[in-house]
Amino acid sequence: MQKNLVIVESPAKAKTIEKFLGTDYRVLSSYGHIRDLKEKGLGVDVKNHFQPEYVISTDKKELVKQLKKASNDSEIIWLASDEDREGEAIAWHLYEVLKLNEKDCKRIVFHEITKPAIQKAIENPRQIDFNLVDAQQARRVLDRIVGFELSPILWKKIMPALSAGRVQSVAVRLIVEREREINQFNAEVYFKVHAQFLLPDGKSVIKGELNKRFQSEQEVKTFLESLKQARFTIEDINTRPGKKSPAPPFTTSTLQQEASRKIGFSVSQTMAVAQKLYEAGFITYMRTDSLNLSSLALNTTKKEIEEEFGSKYVKTRQFQTKTKGAQEAHEAIRPTFVNQQEINGSAQEKRLYKLIRERTIASQMADAELEKTTVTIGISNRSAEKFLLQGEVIKFDGFLRVYLEDSDEETADENTEGLLPPMHVTDELNLTEATATERLTQRPARYTEASLVRKLEEQGIGRPSTYAPTISTIQQRGYVVKGNKEGSKKDFMTLTLQNNTINKTVKSETVGADKNKLMPTDSGMVVNDFLIEHFPSVMDYNFTADLEKEFDKIAEGSRKWTDTLQKFYDMFHPIVEMVSASKTERKIGERILGTDPKTGKPVSAKIGRFGAFVQIGSADDDAKPQFAALVGGQSIETITLEEAIHLFSLPRTVGELDGKPVIAAIGRFGPYLKYENAFAPIPKTFDPYHITIEEAEQIIREKKEKDANRLIKAFAEDEKLQLLNGRFGPYISYDKTNYKIPKGTEPKDLSYDDVMKIIQETPYKAAKGKKKATKTTAKKKTNSKK
């Protein structure tokens, strides 16, 4: 009989832990949760105090058998899943399913996978913390109730296949509201003035910015004219010491934000890479909202700084966590061994480790000491206006030797310089050039994944473990896209005073462009508006944050989890029933744009099964309404009547090829060309409304060449059977179903019998295509009838 069995939730973690334990220990993985709420129905017995109905996942049944056998063959079972609520729930599910008992089962936790940490955990085992389990159950059950009850209403009121989630819906609301702020923002024109001066030594040049902004070209011209006769004198030089302090070590939220800004990782990518670093024993646990560092970490970091930079660079700090509900017993994210500069791993792992290590070291280093100088330059004939310039000199670099935190905000001051040349109060300066530049006031910035995480944290919405899944889910559901936004060209004026002459130049710039920003889709906006109208409490930021506090109280043992659920359900369920039974005059999300000048029929924009579209006419008309899909960059919210009517100019005849028409149109999957009963998608670089016959000819020719190369082999025995080249290599296509060709097989050498044998030996689940989909659909329909 094996003496000890250790169960963790991931195979990578198991592999690392196994290295630290002797032959008396066997380490196995549960591969995450082994059971969850059953998928059929609600999966919660509401009438029986919200009793969850758990089932073992189909893909985990064999694993559970193996774990049961291993636990029966072991004297002591150590449950070593992660130390957060999710990890505690995994441990409890294992305890229940494997039918363990308190005598032979021990719960151990550690925030880093190192030999000392594992040994310390084994020396100090505890029992399962049922408060943490209840907090996880409360979140899981409440979120299931919200999703299960809201989603059918969205299918009924808006369109099929929609879904809603408690935290996800609030995150979408943030993005929708920001998009509307941007759409409603009216940029105002202003002029800022910079001037270049020559000091009395005749060599040194300084640049200053005027402390006033002008609103019109005429105001600027008047000001520049006045400078022709003005004298310029240094009125004040103010020098003062300053300092910069380092940022604290990383929490989950700040790691996600900084990894996005410094190394371009998405939030989910950051968490995936951090998970690998943790499981390999390189960093501490990566889901934390604590800024705390252990005394051992503080001492080893201090030693590392002293050895590398000297004792004057050391300033030991213990940061206080401001986040409510933060678990101070946990640590911030740090390297397990600070003196380890390099690690073995992928390029991504090395970059993230370097970021974490540098941030940890910098947090324990001395402040940077600065000297800031502000110079005020007076204008003899305009007492109210002054030119200002600033200089900043680093007297002692401190933590800046290692690390400087980035920001999402554009805070760079183009008027701040480094070391300023010698100058004195009353020095008279010579104006060499003054430039007034036309600018626009800045609209609110769209969210990046990183800035959305920061906003969620500020609002108290979600916890470290939920940020990445939330952002991934709202994109997967099609409510939000992360993409680029094309800007528009705008002319900007520049007026320059030089040699007593004012010259005007105009340059064109792109404004309003965005890259890798989060933007709501039409379905995201429509669902958001519907939920805010009918479920305002669920969509309320404070309500969502208060629920997080409720979960925290449950985790602390000061609140019963079923009481929280009962209170929520008593408020939520009656609203669900009322909204479900209500009727609306017109389709949710429909926007009436006006009247079609040709037919006199109403023109509307709305959301449908295949996305956003515009419609001329209504279902009540004798004639069938006309439909046209919105194209890229258009939205139900902003499309105009003129733009909508223009969409109906398709399909159009582009021209003729060999005496046959070429038609441009837009279908379910986007713009396409039709020629000789064949279809060719129109690339994004072309516009279906303006594409020329020459451009269309090239697209059609390339499509024909691609189709010709697609066919590897056809069979006279059955015209439905073909060997084709696909995106992932050669495959078999037969009767609208696709089959893989075994590795090492040359497709051209396969006979009809060889191919049919491959088809017959392919498991049903491995086949992909319409046949499989048809059977699945039929099965669903049968179940729904029952």
Cis ω on the peptide bond leading into residue 651 (within 30° of 0)?
A: yes
Using CB atoms within 10 Å of the CB of residue 627, give its burial: 0 to 12 exposed, 13 to 18 middle, 19+ buried: middle
Alpha-carbon distance of 126 to 134, in angstroms, equals 17
Query: In whole angstroms, how large is the CA radius of gyration of the chain?
Result: 33
Strand 2-8 and strand 25-29: the pairing is parallel
Look at residue 727 and give its three-state secondary structure: coil
Q: Please compute, for residue 321, the number of CA atoms within 13 A of its CA located in the half-sphere on the CB side.
A: 23
**Is 285 a catalytic site residue?**
yes
CA-nearest of 468, 443, 446 to 457 is 468
Alpha-carbon distance of 726 to 738, in angstroms, equals 10
Could you tell me where the DSSP H helices lie in 127-230?
Answer: 130-157, 166-184, 217-227
Q: What's the Cα-to-Cα distance from 571 to each of 87, 163, 504, 574, rounded to whole Å? A: 30, 20, 65, 7
Which of 25, 285, 569, 672 is an active site residue? Answer: 285
CA-nearest of 447, 533, 443 to 181 is 443
Asked if 552 contacts 183 with a C-beta cutoff of 8 angstroms, the reply is no
Q: How many CB atoms lie within 10 A of CB 13?
A: 21
CA-nearest of 187, 188, 195 to 436 is 195
| DSSP label of 536 | T
Strands across the sheet containing 737-740: 711-714, 721-726, 729-734, 737-740, 768-769
> Would you please indicate which residues are annotated as catalytic (active-site) residues?
285
